[in-house]
Amino acid sequence: MLGAALLLGVLARAGAVLLPGFVDVDLMSPLRALAGLESEWLPAPDALAARIRPLSEYAAAADVVPIWLSAGVLGLLLLAGEAVRERRGRKAGPLRLKIEAAADNSEPGRELANALRSCKGALAGVAVFSGVSNLLMLTGALFMLQIYDRVLPSRSVPTLVALALLTTVLFLGQAIIDMLRGRVMSRIGAELDEAVGSHVFSAIGRLHLSARHEGDSLQPQRDLDGIRSFFSSAGPYALFDLPWLPFYLAVIWSFHPTLGVTATGGALVLAVLTVATELSTRKPLSAAALSGVRRNRHAEAARRNAEVLAAMGMAGRLHDLWRRESREHLCHQQRVSDVAGRLGSFSRALRLLLQSAMLGVGAWLVIHGEATAGIIIAGSILAGRALAPVDLAIAHWRNFASARQSWHRLSGLLARLPRDAQPMALPIPSSTLSVERVAVTPPGIQRIVVQGVDFTLGSGTVLGIVGPSGAGKSTLVRTLVGAWRPLAGRIRLDGASLDQWSSERLGRYIGYLPQDVELLGGTVAANIARLAPEPDPSAVVAAARAAGAHDLIVGMAEGYGTQIGDDGAALSAGQRQRIALARALYGDPFLVVLDEPGSNLDSEGEAALATAIAGVKARGGIVVIVAHRPETLAAADLILAMRQGQMHMFGPRENVLARLAACAQEAPALKPVVVGPAPRSGQRRRA
C-alpha cells in the first residue's frame, strides 16, 4: 500500500507540474460552442498555438524531476516487493480461509457463487487496478498529442526528454498494475478450486452411488478446471474494461463531436456483433459439450475393457462408435469456431477501419481548422483503446460461454449431491447389527430389488447369505455397508442408524470385500492401510496375517512396498482378492461384509479365509458372507436365503440348509431331451 500511495502521489505531482505547461484546455469551450457563443469548436491554429505555454517557463520544476522520478521508481519497487510477498502466499492464507468458511456454510448448489462472493474484496481490487490501468492507457494518446502539438512546433529537446521520462514511468507503472491484476485473477480462480474442489471430488465418487450416470464421470473435474482456467485468462479483463468504454468515448467527444459520433457508431456496431456471437454460439456449444461427453464415455469403456475387446474382436466396433461420436463432436466444435472466428475477424477489421476513419475524419477537421494534428493521432489511438475490450470479449466469448456452461453444470451437480453432514461422533459399535424392514432400489433404477428384509445379529455372529443370481444378495450387502441408501427401513449399528455416522468415521468400523475386487494404484501396504497418511506397520502386517496374505506379500519383489499398478493390474486375481481381504480386516472392524470372497481363491486361500472369519468371530465382530460354496458357509451361525429380493428363509445354518435341500428334492425333476440328427432309415434309435 505504501508503494501504491507513493506512486500515485508522484503521478499527481507530475501531472500538476508538467501537464498544465503542455496544454491549456478550456473545458467550457464545448458548452459555449453548443450554446452558439462561439462559432467554432476550437480557435484558429495560430490562436491555439499562442495558448500553449513553453516548457521553459517550468525550468524550476524541471530541476526536481530527478527527485520525483526517484520517488516514482521507489514506489514501483515497493509495489513489486508486495507482489513478490503475495506470490509467496503470505497474503493467500486469510483469503483461502475466508472462502473455505463461506463454502462450508453455503446452501447446496450455491458454493461457487458464495465462494466468488467472498472474493469481493479481491475483485474490488481488480476493479481498482483496471481503473488505474485504463487511466494510464491515456498515456500513449497524450504523448502523441504533445509530440505533434508541442515538441515538433517548438523543436524543444528538454520538453521531449521530460515527456519521454514521464511516459516511461507511466508505462512501467501500467505494466506492474496489469501484472498484479493478472496475478490476483489467477489466485481467485485457484481459491475457487480450493474452496469447492473437495466437494467436487467427493461428488465424483458419489455420483455412481446416487444415480445411474451415463455421462463422463470426470466431467465435474473438467468443469472446475475450465472455470479456473477462465479466471486465469485474459477473458475476465474485458468485463472490467468494458465499463470504461463511455469514459474513452467522452474523451473523444471532448476533442470534437464529429470524432465522438464516429467512435460511438463503431462501438454500437461492435456491441451488435457481441450479441450476435452469443446468440450464434449458444446451441452449438451445448451440442458440442454433450457429444464430447458421449465420446469420452466410449474412450473410457475402451480403457476399462481392453482385454475383452482384444480377445473377442470388439475393438473395431467400439472404435466405430467412438469415431461417430467424435465426428459429431468435431462438427459442433468446428461450427462454434467458424462462427466465433467469423465474427472475431469482422470485429478486428471494423476496429482497424474505425481507426482509419478516425484519422480521415480528423484530417477533414484539420483541413477546416477545427482540430490539430495531435488530435488526429490521439483520437485514433483512443478509439482503438475504447473498442479493445469489445474486441477482447468477442475473441474470448467461446471461453466465456464454456465457463458459463461449466458453472451451471457444476452448480447443479453440487446441489444434487450436497456435502455430507458431520454428525456428533458416536461410540465404537460393539454389540448389534439391526436390519429393519429394508427396501432397496439401486441408483438410477425405478424398481425395488430388495424389500422386507428384517433381522438382528449380535456380536460374534457369522451370517451367510445364499440365493440364486439376481436374488438381491449383492444389493443387500451394499446397503449394509452404507454404499447405497435404503429406500425404506433402517440399518443400525448398536441402535444408531448409519446416517447418524459420518462416512469417514463409519468406514473405520466396517470392512468390505466387494464381489468385483477394486484396488487403487500404489503399494500393497497403502492399499491394506486404506490410504492412511501414516499407517501403523504392525496393523498392516496384522491384517495381512489375518487374511493369510503375509507370506504371499513378503514373497513379492519389494514386499509390502510393491507397486500393484492401476486396479491391481500387476497382480493375479487370487492375489488381488487376498490383499483386498486384508484391507477389509485392517483395523479390526466390527462389521465385516464379504461378497463372494472365495470366487478366485485356491485351497490355501480358502483355508486362510476360514481362519480370517474365525478370527473376526473370536474377537466379537460380525461377519456377513455372500457365498455359494458349502465350505465357505461352514463357519456361519445363521443363514439368510433370498429369493426375488425377499427373505425366503432365515435361521440357524443346519436348519436352513436342511430345508433348502428338502425343497430341492421336492422340485420336479426334468427329463432330459436329447437333440440330435434324425436316424437314418433302417437304424433304430437307442433309448
Residue 320: count other Cβ atoms within 10 Å of its Cβ.
11
Work out the angle at residue 231's Cα, subtended by the Cα atoms of residues 226 and 232, and round it to the nearest 5 degrees: 95
pTM: 0.64
pLDDT tens digit sequence for 66-115: 444 445 545 554 554 554 454 444 444 444 444 444 445 556 667 888 88
Distances (CA, A) of 583 to 83, 258, 460, 574, 614: 48, 80, 20, 14, 17
Q: How far apart are CA 99 and CA 89, in angstroms?
A: 15
Which residues, in sequence order, are CB contacts of 596 under 8 Å at separation 6+? 515, 626, 627, 628
pLDDT at 50 over 70: no
Backbone φ and ψ for 468, nearest 5 degrees, come out as: -70, 170
Backbone φ and ψ for 502, nearest 5 degrees, come out as: -75, 150
Residue with cell 530527478: 66
Residue with cell 458419489: 206
Q: How far apart are CA 638 and CA 539, in angstroms?
A: 30
pLDDT at 230 over 90: no
- By mean pLDDT, which of 23-27, 83-87, 345-349, 630-634 is the weakest? 23-27
Cα of 600 vs its chain's centroid, Å: 39
- By mean pLDDT, which of 277-291, 459-473, 476-490, 499-513 is the weakest? 277-291
Nearest to 221 by CA among 209, 207, 211, 234: 207
Residue % of the chain over a pLDDT of 70: 78
Topology, domain 432-666: Rossmann fold (3.40.50)
Element (H, E) at 11: helix 2-22
pLDDT at 326 over 70: yes
How confident is residue 23, by pLDDT bands cut at 50, 70 and 90? very low
Q: What is the 3-state secondary structure (H, E, C) of 50-101?
A: HHCCCHHHHHHHHCCHHHHHHHHHHHHHHHHHHHHHHHCCCCHHHHHHHHHH
Half-sphere exposure of 324 (CA within 13 A, CB side): 6
What pLDDT score does 620 carry?
Answer: 92
Q: What is the dihedral of CA 464, 466, 469, 475, to 10 degrees?
A: -40
Which residues, in sequence order, are CB contacts of 550 under 8 Å at separation 6+? 541, 544
Residue of higher predicted confidence among 326 and 585: 585
What pLDDT score does 564 carry?
Answer: 83
Q: How far apart are CA 225 and CA 233, in angstroms?
A: 12
How confident is residue 682, by pLDDT bands cut at 50, 70 and 90? very low
Give the residues across from 436 on adjacent strands.
490
Q: How far apart are CA 77 and CA 311, in angstroms?
A: 66
Q: Which three cell numbers stand for residue 275?
A: 450479441
Residue 300: count other Cβ atoms within 10 Å of its Cβ.
13
Q: What is the dihedral of CA 485, 487, 488, 493, to 10 degrees?
A: -10
Which residues, in sequence order, are CB contacts of 200 under 8 Å at separation 6+? 220, 221, 224, 410, 413, 414
SS3 of residue 39 by DSSP:
coil
SS3 of residue 298 by DSSP:
helix
How confident is residue 462, by pLDDT bands cut at 50, 70 and 90? very high
pLDDT tens digit sequence for 125-139: 888 888 888 888 888
Q: What is the dihedral of CA 564, 570, 572, 577, to 10 degrees?
A: 20
Give the residues across from 491 on adjacent strands.
435
Nearest to 489 by CA among 456, 445, 528: 456
Q: Which three cell numbers stand for residue 287?
A: 451440442
Nearest to 619 by CA among 672, 546, 568, 553: 546
Q: Which three cell numbers stand for residue 447?
A: 424398481
- By mean pLDDT, which of 248-262, 339-353, 543-557 is the weakest? 339-353
What pLDDT score does 39 carry?
Answer: 37
Over range 614-638, report the average pLDDT. 87
- By mean pLDDT, which of 34-48, 554-568, 656-670 is the weakest? 34-48
Residue 425: count other Cβ atoms within 10 Å of its Cβ.
9
Over range 49-69, report the average pLDDT. 41
**Residues 149/141, Cβ–Cβ less than 8 Å:** no
SS3 of residue 488 by DSSP:
strand
Residue 302: count other Cβ atoms within 10 Å of its Cβ.
16
Burial class (CB in 10 A: 0-12, 13-18, 19+), 103: buried
How confident is residue 212, by pLDDT bands cut at 50, 70 and 90? low
How confident is residue 241, by pLDDT bands cut at 50, 70 and 90? confident
Backbone φ and ψ for 346, nearest 5 degrees, come out as: -65, -40
Q: How far apart are CA 200 and CA 409, in angstroms?
A: 12
What pLDDT score does 171 carry?
Answer: 87
How confident is residue 610, by pLDDT bands cut at 50, 70 and 90? confident
Q: Which three cell numbers stand for residue 413?
A: 451437480
Residue 367: count other Cβ atoms within 10 Å of its Cβ.
9
Over range 334-341, report the average pLDDT. 76
pLDDT tens digit sequence for 402-451: 888 888 888 888 887 777 667 777 888 889 999 999 999 887 777 889 99
Start-to-end C-alpha separation, the chain? 104
Q: How far apart are CA 8 and CA 10, in angstroms?
A: 5
404-415 burial code (b ≥16 CB/10 A, e <16): ebbbebbbebbe
Over range 447-456, report the average pLDDT. 90
Residue with cell 486362510: 608
What pLDDT score does 105 carry?
Answer: 52
Work out the angle at residue 311's Cα, subtended by the Cα atoms of residues 308 and 315, and round it to the nearest 5 degrees: 70
Q: Where are the domains of the chain?
A: 1-233, 246-395, 432-666
Q: Could you tell me which CATH class the domain 246-395 is placed in? A: mainly alpha
Q: How far apart are CA 402 and CA 121, in angstroms?
A: 26
Over range 661-678, report the average pLDDT. 54
Instruction: For residue 373, give the amino acid letter.
Output: A
Q: How far apart are CA 270 and CA 278, in angstroms?
A: 13
Q: How far apart are CA 485 and CA 445, in angstroms?
A: 13
SS3 of residue 36 by DSSP:
coil
pLDDT tens digit sequence for 187-205: 888 888 888 887 787 777 7
Q: How far apart are CA 362 and CA 378, in angstroms?
A: 10
pLDDT at 33 over 80: no
What pLDDT score does 10 carry?
Answer: 53
Q: Which three cell numbers stand for residue 328?
A: 459429431
